[in-house]
Structure 1
Amino acid sequence: MALSRLQYVTVVAGFSALSAWYGFMFGKESARKELADKVSDLKATIQKLESHDNA
Structure 2
Amino acid sequence: MVVNTKYRIVFIPFATYKRVGEVSILTVLGMPVYRRVGDIRSLFGIGYHAS
TM-score > 0.5, shorter chain as reference: no
Query: Would you tell me which structure has more strand in proportion to its own residues?
Result: 2
Larger radius of gyration: 1
TM-score (norm. length: structure 2): 0.32
- Where relative contact order (Cα < 8 A, 6+ residues apart) is larger, the structure is 2
